[in-house]
Amino acid sequence: MTVLKISDVTLLFGGLHALSHVDMDIAPGLITSIIGPNGAGKTSLLNCISGFYHPTKGDIHYGERRLTHASPHQVSNLGIARAFQNIELFSGMTVLDNLLLARHRKLRYGFFSALVYHGKASRLEAENRGIVEEVIDFMELEPYRKSVVGNLAYGVQKRVEVARALTLAPDLLLLDEPMAGMTIEEKEDMVRFILDIQKERDTTVVLVEHDLGVVMDISDQIFVLDFGELIGAGRPAQVAANPKVIEAYIGEE
């Protein structure tokens, strides 16, 4: 089975090939990692999946839905959420307010319901608050719930970034370097959260990450990009033994 199918995706910026004829089949319920040296096109591919970029050529399908020219909010409506490499939080707001704001697009009531605030409006607000509280507990953010995000340690901010994506209850979670800049202890915590997200929340995870030790330990399948081209794919052991992958990371003697 394939939950996300990327077919012959090419992305051009003028004469620059950010992606060239990339094919990937992402299986449901697994942790799939996309790796490669800096500038390989990993984030560009996530941007194409999440609707921030539209491929110059090729197609992206999520189940039966075509994402190739979908907007970010349309992609989000299908059950796909993303945590960004550069933290995209409101640094002057609290952790709780950031997570509640992420759920705002799920509030489906009109002006008059909001004005009266009884019935549908209060029910939906309570439901959203319950989901946010569950995510705070799941990501162990209770000690920071009232803290201003900009005052938190970088590792905690990265955890809040992942929590923001989780409040949308995604079926497919895109994580763009969630462990970048973390200490060893913070990485260990993030690895545990990613494994729990996959197993306990039955979420398909697509992970872009530079820490090859982490990737090899937790991934079910791996795709390798280099200069926008797919140069390897398979299970961790297969990828680690691929001569093209070794050359891309280490170079020829």
- pLDDT for 115 equals 47
Do 10 and 132 lie in one domain? The reply is no
| pTM: predicted TM-score of the whole model, two decimal places | 0.89
Do 177 and 243 lie in one domain? The reply is yes
Do 207 and 234 lie in one domain? The reply is yes
Phi/psi class of residue 175: alpha, beta or left (left: φ > 0; alpha: ψ in -120 to 50)? beta
Do 117 and 187 lie in one domain? The reply is no
As given in the structure block, the two tokens for residue 193 are 């959260």
In a domain, 85, yes or no: no
64: domain range? 4-79+170-250
In a domain, 165, yes or no: no
Do 141 and 198 lie in one domain? The reply is no
d(C-alpha 78, C-alpha 85), whole Å: 22
- For 127-179, the DSSP string reads HHHHHHHHHHHHTT-GGGTTSBGGGS-HHHHHHHHHHHHHTT--SEEEEESTT
Do 238 and 201 lie in one domain? The reply is yes
d(C-alpha 127, C-alpha 8), whole Å: 41
In a domain, 33, yes or no: yes
In a domain, 240, yes or no: yes
- How many domains is the chain partitioned into structurally? 2
Do 61 and 123 lie in one domain? The reply is no
CA Rg value for the chain: 19
In a domain, 150, yes or no: yes
Do 182 and 74 lie in one domain? The reply is yes
In a domain, 13, yes or no: yes
- Ordered per-residue pLDDT tens for the chain, 253 residues: 789 999 999 999 988 899 999 999 999 999 999 999 888 999 999 999 999 999 999 999 999 999 999 999 999 999 999 999 888 899 999 999 999 888 876 655 454 454 455 656 566 667 888 899 999 999 999 999 999 999 999 999 999 999 999 999 999 999 999 998 899 999 999 999 999 999 999 999 999 998 889 999 999 999 999 999 999 999 999 999 999 998 887 665 4
Using the 3D structure, point to which of 155, 188, 209 is the last residue of a domain: 155
As given in the structure block, the two tokens for residue 173 are 């979670």
- Burial class of residue 119 (count of CB atoms within 10 Å of its CB; 0-12, 13-18, 19+): exposed
In a domain, 65, yes or no: yes
C-beta atoms surrounding 142 within 10 Å: 11
In a domain, 163, yes or no: no
Do 46 and 117 lie in one domain? The reply is no
**Cα end-to-end span (Å), the chain:** 40
In the sheet with 204-208, reading across from the earlier edge strand, the strands are: 80-83, 172-176, 204-208, 31-35, 221-226, 229-234
Instruction: Please calculate the CA angle 138-214-224 and round it to the nearest 5 degrees.
Output: 115
